[in-house]
Structure 1
Amino acid sequence: MKFTNCNLAVTLAKAKCADRSPWTKTREQLGMGRRGDWATGRLGDWETGRLGDGETGRRGDGESPSPEVPQSPGPLVPLAPLPPCPPAPLLPTIVMLLLCFLLTSCQLETPPQGVKVKVERVVSGQTVEISNTQGPERLRLLGINAPDWRQEPHGAAAKEKLQQMVEGKLVLLEYDIKTQDNYGRQLGYIWLDGQLVQEVLVRDGYVLAASLWPNTKHEQRLDYAQKWARVQELGIWNAEEPLRLTPAEFRRRQEQQNNS
């Protein structure tokens, strides 16, 4: 039972200590009369008419109550309802991805080993032309898939970004397990000023992370970079103008349309 009146609670406590019914004593002290007529055993209060009439057995005699009856305590004020739980914020997710990205980028690892080559020309968002002692050769960048040049505006954007980064510059070419593809192109990663170029392209939303076995040396860091780009909705992950088809799916549909 909850009490909203402090005096009433104190009275009940004193009644309990006197080994009497707390409710009966409280009613007597407050002048509310007896709950029933102890002489007849009838339920009711002849003096106040509350809960019934001890003489007639009726539930009330319509008489005005005794002036000694105190006013009941004020109504309980309900507690304000708790506000609805807000949706889970994106901040913790972004912070976790940022930490993973920083840990991957800053972890102590063996510096890349490779050869210095000059990028003569950028062919697409994933292929460059390099010069070495044997003459110009094409290099397919490992770990990424760039949008097809017909997938506007993403195909052109990926090529332009790669041009800004490496065209006409010396880069470090790092090989993996397989060094040449079925088209005779070299396969490798390129580094510029200590940065993995493929990682920058993925992180900024220009290309997709796509490592193919057995060349998976930097698969984890490229996956983290792609998760970051997706959360930030950068480039091909922009909700207003996303890359709706992977490059392979896009080319397959183009071939189907040309053959139909």
Structure 2
Amino acid sequence: MPARYLAAMLLAALLAAPACAEQQSNPPETAQLVRVIDGDSLLVRHGSRETQVRLIGLDAPEWNQPYGQQAEDWVVRHCPQGSRLHLRYDQELRDRYDRLLAYVTCRGRFLNLHLVKSGLAKAKFYKPNGKHQRELKQAMETAKKAKKGMWE
């Protein structure tokens, strides 16, 4: 019995190793916020150049649509100009508009998730980037039930 247990533990450790190695070898990249473009797009200084970042896993209204200005204002309020950002990526690095696709953390807050939780963006899956799809979808359902933002 102990030999079986030891073998099972060893197998579990071996299977988990690639996931742990991937997380350790892919730390978040840092960038600096230049300005908020809209609720789901940012202009950042990434390395030595400025580039647009599109928050993935969500769709915020455009500035001229209902809740579009509120979504933009929320990002500005929680992530002021000059803030340090942590960028994490999924399967696809850039979209058809050449924007960098990222999950963004600012001041300890996961922006993608909190925009959806606040009811200021919808969870939206864009293949193949689905690393946080389940979490974002659950946040949207919670915002709907609480009648937050666009779900009022």
For normalisation by structure 2, the TM-score amounts to: 0.79
Within-5 A mapping of 1:78-89: none
Q: Which of 111, 118, 137 is equivalent to 2:51?
A: 137
Q: 1:113 aligns with which of 13, 22, 27?
A: 27
Of 131, 135, 138, 1:217 maps to 131
| Counterparts of 1:128 and 1:237, CA distance in 2 | 24
In the alignment, the residues of structure 2 paired with residue 133 and residue 194 of structure 1 have an alpha-carbon distance, to the nearest angstrom, of 21
Cα distance in 2 between the residues matched to 1:134 and 1:159: 26
Pick the structure with more helix per residue.
2
Can you give the 5+ residue segments of structure 1 that lack an aligned partner in the other structure?
Answer: 1-109, 239-260
Tell me which amino acid in the other structure corresponds to 1:115. Answer: E
User: Within the alignment, does 1:234 sit opposite 2:148 as a pair?
Assistant: yes
Letter in 2 for 1:222: L
Query: What stretches of structure 1 move > 2 A for 4+ residues in a row?
Result: 110-113, 192-195
Residue of structure 2 equivalent to 1:162: 75
In terms of Rg, which structure is larger? 1
Equivalent position to 2:85, from 171, 191, 207: 171
Give unmatched runs, 5+ long, in structure 2: 1-22
Q: CA deviation at 1:167?
A: 2.9
Shift of 1:159: 0.4
Contact 2:79 2:107 in 1 (8 A): no
Secondary structure of the 2:38 match is coil
Once the two structures are TM-superposed, the CA of residue 193 in structure 1 deviates from its matched residue by 4.0
Give the RMSD, CA atoms, in angstroms: 1.6
Number of aligned residue pairs: give it: 128
8 Å CA contact 1:146, 1:158 repeated in 2 = yes
> 1:217 & 1:167 partners in 2: Cα distance?
26
Structure number with higher relative contact order (C-alpha < 8 Å, ≥ 6 residues apart): 2
Separation (CA, whole Å) in 1 of partners of 2:123 and 2:87: 19
1:114 Cα offset (Å): 1.5
> In structure 2, what is the equivalent of residue 70 of structure 1?
none
Amino acid corresponding to residue 163 of structure 1 in structure 2: V
The residue that corresponds to 2:38 in the other structure is: 124
* Pairing 1:56-67 to 2, within 5 Å after superposition: none
Q: 1:141 deviation in Å?
A: 0.7
Q: What SS does structure 1 have at the residue aligned with 2:130? A: coil
How far residue 181 of structure 1 moved from its aligned partner, in angstroms, is 0.8
Query: Which structure is higher in strand share?
Result: 2
